[in-house]
């Protein structure tokens, strides 16, 4: 290989790396709005009804180009102290060590590992959910609802998503009372995020 050819290949490789880094930097970042984002948990209560709980005020960041799902990433953190079943006694019971174990594990965290776009507004988001110190793979069906400045007082663009998933509570070590509490937990997620300043 001549010195000139080697130099051309080296320069070409460096340009390629620089272009890849610039492309990664160009993926828009969005900060989750804790006021307009929420998670709902739904689980069978001995077949009589579905018990509902909410987790409010998630935090985190999305990397998302509305034109291309392939560059998307998501990191979401939830404070389990905000878990609300609608009753103070029930909340305290669910916070104990045999359920959410909030004292030792105050946060739940989700981080995407792979996102597969189905069309311009739908995707499958695969990732890892850490809860009670246990990390479990989770897949969510995601729908992008809107993107842009749809409200006159918005300074920056916003994007909104709805997501659905099913978890098994036993996967996280919450296996008490199997005849009274269902193992399948339906998760509904509403996320609104504001475009971050570059």
Q: Which of 23, 30, 20, 117 is nearest to 75 (CA)?
A: 30
Between 22 and 116, residue with greater pLDDT: 116
Residues 38-96 pLDDT 10s: 999 999 999 999 999 999 999 999 999 999 999 999 999 999 999 999 999 999 999 99
pLDDT at 151 over 60: yes
Calculate the average pLDDT of the chain: 89
pTM of structure: 0.84
Instruction: Determine contact, residues 108/127, Cβ cutoff 8 Å.
Output: no
pLDDT (0 to 100) of residue 23: 44
Residues 11-41 pLDDT 10s: 344 334 333 333 445 899 999 999 999 999 9
Query: What is the rounded distance in angstroms from the CA atom of residue 160 to the CA atom of residue 177?
Result: 37
Instruction: Determine contact, residues 32/76, Cβ cutoff 8 Å.
Output: yes
User: Which run of H or of E encompasses 175?
Assistant: none
């Amino acid at each position: 290989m001549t010195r000139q050819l080697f130099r051309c290949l080296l320069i070409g490789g460096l340009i390629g790396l620089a272009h890849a880094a610039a492309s990664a930097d160009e993926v828009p970042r969005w900060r989750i709005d804790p006021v307009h984002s929420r998670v709902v948990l739904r689980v069978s209560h001995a077949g009589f009804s579905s018990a509902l709980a909410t987790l409010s005020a998630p935090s985190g960041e999305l990397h998302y180009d509305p034109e291309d799902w392939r560059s998307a990433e998501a990191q979401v953190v939830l404070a389990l102290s905000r878990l609300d079943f609608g009753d103070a006694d029930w909340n305290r019971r669910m916070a104990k060590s045999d359920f959410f174990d909030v004292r030792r594990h105050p946060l739940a965290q989700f981080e995407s590992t792979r996102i597969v776009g189905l069309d311009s507004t739908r995707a499958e988001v695969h990732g890892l959910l850490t809860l009670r110190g246990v990390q479990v793979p989770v897949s969510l069906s995601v729908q992008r609802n809107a993107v842009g400045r749809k409200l006159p007082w918005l300074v920056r663009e916003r994007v909104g998503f709805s997501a659905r998933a099913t978890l098994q509570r036993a996967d996280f070590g919450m296996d008490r009372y199997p005849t009274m509490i269902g193992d399948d937990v339906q998760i509904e997620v509403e996320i609104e995020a504001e475009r971050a300043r570059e």
